[in-house]
Amino acid sequence: MKMTDLPFVQAFARLCDDGWHEGWHERNGGNLTYRLTDEEAAAAAPYFDAEPRPWVKMGVCAPSMAGAFFMAKGTGCYMRNMKDDIEGNAGIVEIGPEGDTYRVRWGLTIGGKPTSEFESHFMNQAVRCAHDGGATRVCYHMHGPGIIEMSFLVPLEDRAFTRKLWQMMTECVVVFPEGVGVVPWMVPGGPAIADATSEKMESYRTAVWAHHGLFATGRDFDEAFGLAHTVEKAAQLYVAARAANGGSDDFLNKISDQGLRDTCRDFGIQINEAFA
């Protein structure tokens, strides 16, 4: 038995590989974090480095995450290489007692530190956990071509973006009835975009980064990947339907607002009434 045999490590690597095969991770694009349970942290501890690496100060702070352990993709690392070298391309970090530092406890042997967008992941998880009692454990960032294309065509506003996605296929309002948040283009990798994204996560489980990609959160790997997959598929359908319609999104047929509300009623789901 070794660290890479642990089930959560294998599941982490599988999601990275799934995203690569979907075409969402050019070069070293995209990233993934997972917050370990207490039991998983205990199972991983025997494989930690004998000496923890130095504490690193972050530009954000979430005291609620103090003492947590996160598995994270490494900076500059490629999703396509994850399954072949998990220890090189990912690692486990420990959050400091004030919730504003981290130190590497295992892995990340290629780049030496977690993804440059770790602060966004960290704050997204902190915000979502405050809303769901700590159920959120996965934060996934992908560069889906459909969602990027759509960000050039639709107003960068939560309601407008959500409604276009909901109307593309029936599953959407069931999978994300609260809608999606939209963050206008910002320089990635720092505390400013982390704060802007986590503000959206107060209301949504997923947030679009205009001209860049998507963040999706979930209680487990399947939920986070499934949310990202649904949003991306709907975005691709929107772009394709608009192109087939001569560039217009005044489609002959679409799901009505009443249809959206009826779907949520029959599935026992609360729709975001401000968007329907």
> How many separate domains does the chain show?
2
Do the Cβ atoms of 106 and 40 come closer than 8 Å?
no
Question: What does 52-77 look like in DSSP terms, one character per residue?
Answer: PPPPEE-S---GGGTT-EEEEEBTT-
**What's the Rg (C-alpha) of the chain?**
19
Written as tens digits, the pLDDT of the chain (276 aa) is 899 999 999 999 999 999 999 999 999 999 999 999 999 999 999 999 999 899 999 999 999 999 999 999 999 999 999 999 999 999 999 999 999 999 999 999 998 999 999 999 999 999 999 999 999 999 999 999 999 999 999 999 999 999 999 999 999 999 999 999 999 999 988 888 888 999 999 999 999 999 999 999 999 999 999 999 999 999 999 999 999 999 999 999 999 999 999 999 999 999 999 999
CATH of the domain at 146: 3.40.225.10
Residues carrying an active site annotation:
117
By 3-state DSSP, what share of the chain in percent is helix, strand and coil, each rounded to 5?
45, 15, 40
Q: Are residues 109 and 147 in the same domain?
A: no
Q: Are residues 9 and 112 in the same domain?
A: yes
Q: Are residues 111 and 150 in the same domain?
A: no
Q: At residue 225, what is the residue type?
A: F
pLDDT at 111: 86
Q: Where in the sequence is the domain holding 238, given as residue range(s)?
A: 139-276
Q: Are residues 272 and 158 in the same domain?
A: yes
Tell me, yes or no, whether 132 lies in a domain. no
Final residue in a domain of this structure, among 67, 83, 116: 116
Structure tokens at 111: 């780049």
Q: Are residues 65 and 151 in the same domain?
A: no
pLDDT at 161: 97
Q: Are residues 190 and 247 in the same domain?
A: yes
Q: What are phi and psi of 106, to 5 degrees?
A: -160, 150
Tell me, yes or no, whether 251 lies in a domain. yes
pLDDT at 252: 94
Tell me, yes or no, whether 123 lies in a domain. no
Q: Are residues 147 and 104 in the same domain?
A: no
Q: Are residues 107 and 191 in the same domain?
A: no
Tell me, yes or no, whether 122 lies in a domain. no
Tell me, yes or no, whether 271 lies in a domain. yes
How buried is 156 (Cβ within 10 angstroms: 0-12 exposed, 13-18 middle, 19+ buried)? middle
